[in-house]
Amino acid sequence: MKNSNLYKGSIVTILLKLLNEHDKMYGYEITQRVFEITNGELKLTEGALYPALHKLEDQDLVEVEIVKIGKRIRKYYRLTEAGTKETVKKLAELESYMKNMRALINPKFREKLH
Amino acid sequence: MKNSNLYKGSIVTILLKLLNEHDKMYGYEITQRVFEITNGELKLTEGALYPALHKLEDQDLVEVEIVKIGKRIRKYYRLTEAGTKETVKKLAELESYMKNMRALINPKFREKLH
DNA sequence: ATATAATACATAATTTATTTATGCATTTGA
DNA sequence: TCAAATGCATAAATAAATTATGTATTATAT
């Protein structure tokens, strides 16, 4: 699948929001949820997903719990407190982005500050 | 100004839409319009803008008219036919992106395909 | 008069995120 | 029993944007 260029820069927001909603999730599960929610329109690739999760971990925005399922491992990710704060920030940024893009593409949505 | 990561990948869409609306514009003018429309929240930098315009020109999505204003030059950009088609495509991609992001961040916006 | 800000273009080096291409191993289902 | 799905991972290459410059003209404020 070829995702649109527009998703560049959105992965962290998506990850944080899903973790905020689900309490704990593992990587593969996240790719599936994203695929479902977007009706197959967005496919997170592993090459983007895992480095992004690792970076969130390095930044202490998520913490990891390793669980063995038979002989296979799962790494569950859970938001830290800092991660929850960052989620709020990222969601506000997304709202701002969408408002501005809406104004840029639709003159009817333009409004001056009073 | 520090723009959000989310704008990465959106510049071409913004340029095409503004050119679609204004018939012809020059670079500096575009930065000003974007700044105004977003109430100062998005500042296109020259380092992003000019290479993007040059790339659109290489792809024959825009054509250029050079105008001298006194001793200074302006390069007006205008959509080609291919550029107009590409604009439609990019706007559809943006709508799809926003729909999917909306669904990802707000469970109420999720809907299964019938 | 003169300095500063605004107008107007440009590019090169660096950074960063993502894509593409792999790799390995286990488990499920056809 | 073979393919697909599950589940992790990383490395090289690509592409977009940031940061840092550069040049020159014109307008404005002191």
A114 part of a folded domain:
no
> Hey, is the C-beta of A91 within 8 angstroms of any chain B C-beta?
yes
Nearest to B10 among A6, A12, A110 (CB): A6
Instruction: Please check whether strand D approaches the CB of B68 to within 7 Å.
Output: no
Categorize the per-residue pLDDT at A114 as very low, low, confident or very high, splitting at 50, 70 and 90: low
**pLDDT score at B113:** 65
Separation of CA B27 and C1' D23 in angstroms?
A: 17
Does residue B18 lie within any of the structural domains? yes
Does residue A79 belong to any structural domain of this protein?
yes
Q: Which residues contact B1 (CB under 8 A, 6 or more apart)?
A: B43
Q: Does A35 touch chain B (CB under 8 A)?
A: no
User: Quick check: is A54 in a domain?
Assistant: yes
> Is residue A113, in this structure, part of any structural domain at all?
no
Tens digits of per-residue pLDDT, B16-46?
A: 999 999 999 999 999 999 999 999 999 999 9
pLDDT at A82: 98
Give the pLDDT confidence score for residue B111 in this predicted structure.
Answer: 79
Q: How far is the CA of B36 from the C1' of D12 (A)?
A: 41
Four-CA torsion B52, B20, B85, A41, nearest 10 degrees: 70
In a domain, A100, yes or no: yes
**C1’ C11 / CA A41, Å:** 37
A48 Cβ under 8 Å from any chain B Cβ: no
Separation of CA B74 and C1' C2 in angstroms?
27
Measured in angstroms, the CA of B73 and the nearest CA of chain A are apart by: 27
- pLDDT averaged over every residue in chain B: 95
Is residue A95 situated within a structural domain? yes
Per-residue flag: B28 CB under 7 A of strand C: yes
In DSSP terms, which residues pair with B40 in a beta bridge?
Answer: none
* Domain tally, chain A: 1
- CA A95 – CA B4 distance, rounded (Å): 11
Does residue B114 lie within any of the structural domains?
no
| Nearest DNA or RNA nucleotide to A9 (CA to C1') | C17
The CA distance from A18 to B35, in Å, is 32
Domain holding A90, by residue range, is: 5-105
pLDDT at residue B1 tops 70: no
Distance between A67 CA and the closest CA of chain B, angstroms: 26
CATH number of B65's domain: 1.10.10.10
Residue A104 sits at the chain B interface (C-beta within 8 Å): yes
Chain A positions touching B7 (Cβ under 8 A) are 9, 97
DSSP chain B: ----GGGTTTHHHHHHHHHHHHS-EEHHHHHHHHHHHTTTS----HHHHHHHHHHHHHTTSEEEEEEEETTEEEEEEEE-HHHHHHHHHHHHHHHHHHHHHHHHH-GGG-----
pLDDT of residue B114: 58
Tell me the pLDDT tens digit for each residue of A50-103: 999 999 999 999 999 999 999 999 999 999 999 999 999 999 999 999 999 999
Nearest to A27, CA basis, from A66, A69, A77: A77
Nucleic strand C under 7 Å from the C-beta of A31:
no
Reported as a single tens digit per residue, the pLDDT across B61-95 is 999 999 999 999 999 999 999 999 999 999 999 99
